[in-house]
Amino acid sequence: MADIQLGCHTVRSHGAKLARLHMYDWIILLLLAVLDGLLNIIEPFHRFVGRDMMTDLSYPLKGNTIPFWAVPLVAILLPWVIFVGIYFKKKNVYDLHHGILGILYSVLITAVITDAIKDGVGRPRPDFFWRCFPDGKPNYDNITTDVICHGEKSIIKEGHKSFPSGHSSWSFAGLGFLTWYLAGKLAAFDRKGHIAKLCMVFLPLLVASLVAVSRVDDYWHHWQDVFAGSIIGLTVSSFCYLQFFPYPFDADGIWPHAYFQQLAETQSNGIANSYDTRPTAIEPIDEGYDAIALRDSSLILDTMESGRR
């Protein structure tokens, strides 16, 4: 069914219809963005950090190998470029719209989950000592041995957001969605044994993995933070992709569900129109007495009737 074409479905011809149909989805998407912004504003839970715990929290304070602004470029804009390229080639606005909407939902749902857990857990980062004591002179409560930080408040606040890793979850949310998308478009599971397709499918996951590993190398996260963030992102991306697209190994895995629904609707309307415009013929039917019956001369019904016979 993937090869059926009933004309192009472009932004001009079907864009307005799609926008109206998914208006509430876009509104909810904006609400998720606002919610994630609020989660980044509130103060995270300040977990107890005692003197004896500082051994594992005294790694050097470094910059980011992958800066924060680069993560949306890799996780969102890069897949968008691929979506747009396929649209210009195939002229399927359903694929373009659901690809963009799906990946935005994947990233934003992941972001809300990640930041909510960050604020609730408040796990200190591996470099927390230098965030708390930038001059290298520690200060602890004499009774509880809890830290008494004298560093910059914003840096200390960020130091309580280690679990889970946002870089990792965002990367796997966006690039995990792209992996599903490429698997469907390339028909990676067509049982023809083309390993090159799998290499292309797994490439986004490799990029996401390198982003995640960089967080441990920079001492911004413990390995458990990166692992948990990756699982969250990959799980959410899977749910979001399958909300809009069939499984990649499905016969119709190349295009979204809405596209095939539109094809079915177009075909059914065409059949209905042909039925409505067919003239009816009045034919006498000998049933033992004088009678007439209305019989539709539609070729479609003729075919259906012959099949029943």
How many other β-carbons are positioned within 10 Å of the β-carbon of residue 87?
20
287 and 126 in contact (C-beta within 8 Å)?
Answer: no
Among the residues of the chain, which ranges form H helices? 11-21, 23-41, 70-72, 78-90, 93-121, 128-132, 153-159, 166-185, 195-217, 223-244, 257-277, 299-308
- Asked about 98 being catalytic, the answer comes back as no
- Residue of 9, 221, 222, 257 marked catalytic: 221
Nearest residue to 54 (alpha-carbon basis) of 149, 157, 164, 165: 149
d(CA 306, CA 265): 25
Nearest residue to 86 (alpha-carbon basis) of 259, 211, 274, 206: 259
- Residue of 167, 194, 222, 257 marked catalytic: 167
d(CA 272, CA 30): 40
- Asked about 221 being catalytic, the answer comes back as yes
113 and 34 in contact (C-beta within 8 Å)?
Answer: no
Kindly list the catalytic residues: 167, 221
